[in-house]
Structure 1
């Protein structure tokens, strides 16, 4: 990648098998948990599309949700430095908006964040093969950051294929995968729901860290929700705390 710099830090990269799978929600729960555990985690959404204008500047819905959920000010220039209005892959959005996907600002923001926080929770955009530039995919950015990876998958039919493809692509770049979680509403009577996670774990030789229910907790209810998914959170803590 042009302009490559050393970006290694402590933390993890949250990716998914597709868009709208629940990366932001899972990232928010991780941030909340790590703060509760006494760490100083920072949230980073390098690139976002489908943004909206507020006070004359583009704002990321994911960043706005995260800031509200955690009750923490998050300047977009630092926590989400590249923002596009079109709800498209960054390369497509940039072309339609007459802009460039300037990864230099991503690298600079990443550098500042790792100096400010003890660990980082980095949220991707879409899946790993989403194009950022003609010569750069999300996967390339992940490889440059060199963080352990958490995969968020859907609890539905088709998730075996999508999760194993994502896993293969990530491992081909030499990245360590912590495991995968499923996220969102699921039909407990659906045989795919009951069998798919175990099949992915077996064929992919990857830990299944559990299911994150479709529930947006209020701040007064978050502790109860955290308790329900405690095994998943405990499994990823060592990557963030340096244990």
Structure 2
């Protein structure tokens, strides 16, 4: 079973949009194990809207928390205890795209970071990064945190306006493949996302080489 884990250098950078585009391209199932904040919807509803995937391909969360906060805090406020045994990857027929919550070092619980969960899964991670100022530091720190835990890194995908130097230097310094840059899309919809993904995101080289 082909599995890709999508994470980001920060929250709100577009990794849900990237996950939707990837899941649509692969005809994959999508799973966000921990959703924190559902006003008005969670990320799986956004992925369902943007990907056009059948409803059966959008898997229910292991934890659906109402508070928009780090998972450890949202769980505490909601009176929920997050348990690792509920975060085992689901078995599906075909590819699976898994989306993390927030950035690489966001706490899942009082003792577990998102990167620790990625290490537990042992599946290749795609790091989504902004192209704007500050992304070099955030990207390299995120990659270092993943490597410290021996998490396999499939590559880095940039999201935003073109920034040739940031898009060049980060993969070079980090020694990870660049999967391309997904431009900001307005309006954002399934057809436009699919077209942008096909035009700008390259998966073949890092996964075949």
Fold shared per TM-score above 0.5: yes
Give the Å deviation of 1:160: 0.5
CA RMSD of aligned residues (A): 2.2
Structure 2 unaligned blocks of 5 or more: none
Alpha-carbon distance in structure 1 between the residues aligned to 2:29 and 2:137:
32
Alpha-carbon distance in structure 1 between the residues aligned to 2:156 and 2:95:
20
Structure 1 unaligned blocks of 5 or more: 1-8, 36-40, 54-59
Give the Å deviation of 1:74: 4.9
TM alignment of 1:80-119, pairs within 5 A: 80-107=61-88, 110=89, 113-114=90-91, 116-119=92-95
Q: Which has the larger radius of gyration?
A: 1
Matched residue SS, 2:103 = coil
Give the Å deviation of 1:198: 1.4
- 1:91-115 Cα deviation digits (max 9, x unpaired): 11111222211333222xx2xx32x
Matched residue SS, 1:14 = strand
| 8 Å CA contact retained: 2:177, 2:206 | no
Give the Å deviation of 1:223: 4.6
1:148 aligns with 2:135: no
| 8 Å CA contact retained: 1:10, 1:147 | no
- Judging changes above 3 Å, is the alpha-carbon distance between structure 1 residues 227 and 93 closer, same or farther for their aligned structure 2 residues? closer
Give the Å deviation of 1:233: 3.6
TM alignment of 1:1-243, pairs within 5 A: 10-35=2-27, 41-52=28-39, 60-69=41-50, 70-74=52-56, 78-107=59-88, 110=89, 113-114=90-91, 116-184=92-160, 186=161, 193-215=163-185, 217-230=188-201, 232-235=202-205, 238=208
- 1:170-224 Cα deviation digits (max 9, x unpaired): 011112211111102x2x5xxxx22112111221111222110111543444553
| 8 Å CA contact retained: 1:30, 1:233 | no
| 8 Å CA contact retained: 1:128, 1:139 | yes
Alpha-carbon distance in structure 2 between the residues aligned to 1:117 and 1:236:
23
Alpha-carbon distance in structure 1 between the residues aligned to 2:132 and 2:171:
15
Give the Å deviation of 1:124: 0.6
| 8 Å CA contact retained: 1:217, 1:225 | no
Q: TM-score, normalised to structure 1's length? A: 0.77
| 8 Å CA contact retained: 1:82, 1:102 | no
- 1:96-144 Cα deviation digits (max 9, x unpaired): 222211333222xx2xx32x22221110100111111111111111011
Q: TM-score, normalised to structure 2's length? A: 0.89
